[in-house]
């Protein structure tokens, strides 16, 4: 096997293949799909790896594309397929590190079931360049992006999604080992957000399970002046306010202050967010994704610094399937109740996507009405959904989306209760007493469905849309 110390080097190359057909396009899809420009270098050729389930594996490095004249981004990719026959489709993940490409991969968990079923695996690296020894490259990209606001130089807008799509191109170039089929992506944080961008623009991709990453385009993300003015006013009156680099970012860490210091004005930044919103937010693409039969499931977290706008999203996109683990998000260590510790959404999601079977729950509808000093809440599923339970959490006077208080103040441990089955099928009801003096109440519900596949069972959960009720 070749040494890995230089595989991610920024190479000098004499050509440029990027030419966008639209000034507003982040990606040139002809470039992305062009296998002739991969410039593959073999690290370890196809060979059999024995284990609980034997596989055939190969690892290479590929050219993702040219960043600017003479500067190319390269990244490693590993292919894992069944020993016998071609893989029909694959599970694509970027949450790996450089050291993992130095030796064979021992597959585990749901990936064992996928290989048994004839589905391949494709691994690559979607991480900050400094984590694999390319800190200088990451800084150069950041500096050029801040200077120009050109998405080609952005690791989060272009680099990471392009890595996933070029890895797909590389897999299908191995035509003796892969045939066309479904492609599911999964991961958290940048490995949830980057696949979300890729699946919007690349019609080869067919499913996304994303954690702690943003599904929708709230006004804060689109740099709406009124939304930002209201948030700043709230923060100024918060004695415990602490600035946070991710809160308010369009699609990851905020670059607003750096861009303004570099000479851009607020209108430039707002125009960029609006110009690219259709290419980075799942919410802006629900119709075309449904027409492609794309499966989606999000785990945004209830207190996440990246997915910081649950109330706005729940209000505007209640149909996006989400599971909200209580008091969860980047850096949050709160553990859910013992039942939800057994949640296996990802496993069930992937098995259902590739092999069919019992469907997971879809997002329910929520209705409520006030009865003197109480709120009566009803959650309604489609008939024959076979949900098994309902549980509600609530919180009074939570800080607004994007605020420091939003991620600081957790749902109180005692403010939950199990719901009761309603008089109508597929409904769950409960009542919450209103706390004296409260101005608003936030709540969401979680619901269990056990998926059965052969002799195995998989507990899965879906949440209601996140709600806020004004009490004054």
Question: Facing residues of 60 across strands?
Answer: 42, 77
Whether residue 395 lies inside any domain: the answer is: no
Whether residue 260 lies inside any domain: the answer is: no
Indicate the DSSP class of residue 382: P
Handedness of CA 404, 406, 412, 413 (dihedral sign): negative
For the entire predicted model, the pTM comes to 0.93
Whether residue 466 lies inside any domain: the answer is: no
Structure-token pair, residue 350: 């992937």
Q: How far apart are CA 198 and CA 204, in angstroms?
A: 10
Whether residue 162 lies inside any domain: the answer is: yes
Question: How many residues can be counted in the chain?
Answer: 472
CA 94 → CA 38, 258, 316, distances in Å? 18, 28, 30
Helices (H) and strands (E) in the chain, counts: 12, 17
Strands (DSSP E) along 99-203, which ranges? 120-124, 178-188
Phi, psi of 406, rounded to the nearest 5 degrees:
-60, -45
Residue 345: other Cβ atoms inside 10 A: 22
Number of domains in the chain: 1
Weakly modelled stretches of the chain, pLDDT under 70: 1-23, 334-339
Q: At which residue do the structure tokens 């989606």 appear? A: 296
Q: Which domain holds residue 195?
A: 1-205
Whether residue 210 lies inside any domain: the answer is: no
Structure-token pair, residue 412: 């109180």
Whether residue 245 lies inside any domain: the answer is: no
Residue 44: other Cβ atoms inside 10 A: 16
Q: How far apart are CA 340 and CA 389, in angstroms?
A: 12
Determine the distance from the C-alpha atom of residue 28 to the mean position of all C-alpha atoms in its chain, rounded to a whole number: 22
Radius of gyration of the chain (CA): 23
Whether residue 79 lies inside any domain: the answer is: yes
Look at residues 140, 246, 426, 108 and name the one whose alpha carbon lies nearest to residue 256: 246
Q: Residue 472 has what pLDDT?
A: 86
Q: Are 171 and 60 in contact (CB under 8 A)?
A: no
List pLDDT tens digits, range 154-202: 999 999 999 999 999 999 999 999 999 999 999 999 999 999 999 999 9
Q: Residue 21 has what pLDDT?
A: 39
Q: Residue 339 has what pLDDT?
A: 67
Whether residue 111 lies inside any domain: the answer is: yes
Q: Are 19 and 28 in contact (CB under 8 A)?
A: yes
Q: Residue 341 has what pLDDT?
A: 83
List pLDDT tens digits, range 33-56: 999 999 999 999 999 999 889 999
């Amino acid at each position: 096997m070749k040494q890995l110390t230089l595989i991610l080097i920024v190479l000098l190359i004499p050509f440029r293949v990027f030419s966008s057909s639209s000034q507003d396009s982040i990606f040139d899809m002809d470039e992305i799909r062009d296998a002739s420009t991969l410039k593959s270098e073999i690290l370890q050729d196809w060979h059999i790896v024995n284990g609980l389930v034997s596989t055939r594996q190969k690892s290479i490095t590929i050219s993702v594309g040219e960043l600017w004249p003479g500067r190319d981004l390269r990244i490693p990719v590993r292919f894992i397929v069944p020993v016998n026959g071609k893989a029909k489709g694959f599970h694509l993940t970027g949450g790996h590190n450089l050291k993992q490409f130095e030796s064979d991969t021992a597959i585990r968990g749901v990936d064992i079931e996928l290989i048994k079923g004839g589905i391949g695996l494709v691994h690559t690296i979607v991480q900050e360049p400094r984590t694999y020894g390319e800190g200088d490259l990451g800084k150069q990209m950041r500096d050029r992006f801040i200077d120009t606001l050109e998405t080609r130089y952005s690791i989060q807008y272009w680099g990471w999604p392009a890595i996933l799509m070029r890895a797909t191109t590389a897999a299908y170039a191995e035509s003796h080992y892969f045939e066309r089929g479904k492609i599911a992506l999964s991961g958290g944080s940048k490995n949830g957000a980057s696949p979300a961008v890729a699946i919007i623009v690349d019609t080869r991709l067919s499913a996304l399970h994303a954690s702690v990453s943003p599904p929708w385009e709230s006004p804060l993300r689109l740099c709406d002046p009124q939304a930002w003015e209201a948030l700043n006013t709230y923060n100024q009156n918060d004695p415990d306010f602490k600035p946070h680099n991710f809160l308010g970012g369009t699609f990851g860490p905020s670059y607003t202050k750096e861009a303004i210091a570099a000479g851009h004005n607020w209108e430039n930044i707002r125009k960029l967010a609006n110009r690219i919103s259709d290419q980075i937010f799942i919410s802006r693409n629900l119709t075309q994704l449904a027409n492609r039969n794309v499966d989606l499931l999000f785990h945004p977290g209830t207190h996440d610094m990246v997915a910081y706008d649950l109330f706005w999203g729940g209000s505007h996109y209640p149909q996006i399937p989400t599971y909200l683990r209580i008091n969860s998000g980047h850096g949050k260590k709160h553990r859910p109740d013992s039942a939800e510790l057994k949640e296996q959404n990802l496993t069930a999601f992937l098995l259902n996507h590739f092999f069919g079977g019992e469907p997971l729950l879809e997002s329910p509808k929520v209705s409520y009405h006030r009865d003197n000093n109480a709120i009566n809440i009803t959650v309604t599923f489609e008939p024959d959904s076979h949900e098994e339970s309902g549980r509600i959490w609530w919180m009074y006077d939570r800080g607004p989306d994007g605020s420091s208080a939003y991620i600081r103040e957790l749902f109180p441990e005692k403010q939950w209760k199990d719901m009761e089955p309603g008089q109508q099928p597929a409904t769950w009801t409960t009542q919450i007493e209103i706390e004296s003096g409260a101005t608003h109440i936030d709540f969401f519900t979680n619901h269990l469905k056990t998926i059965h596949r052969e002799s195995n069972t998989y507990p899965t959960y879906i949440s209601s849309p996140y709600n806020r009720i004004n009490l004054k």
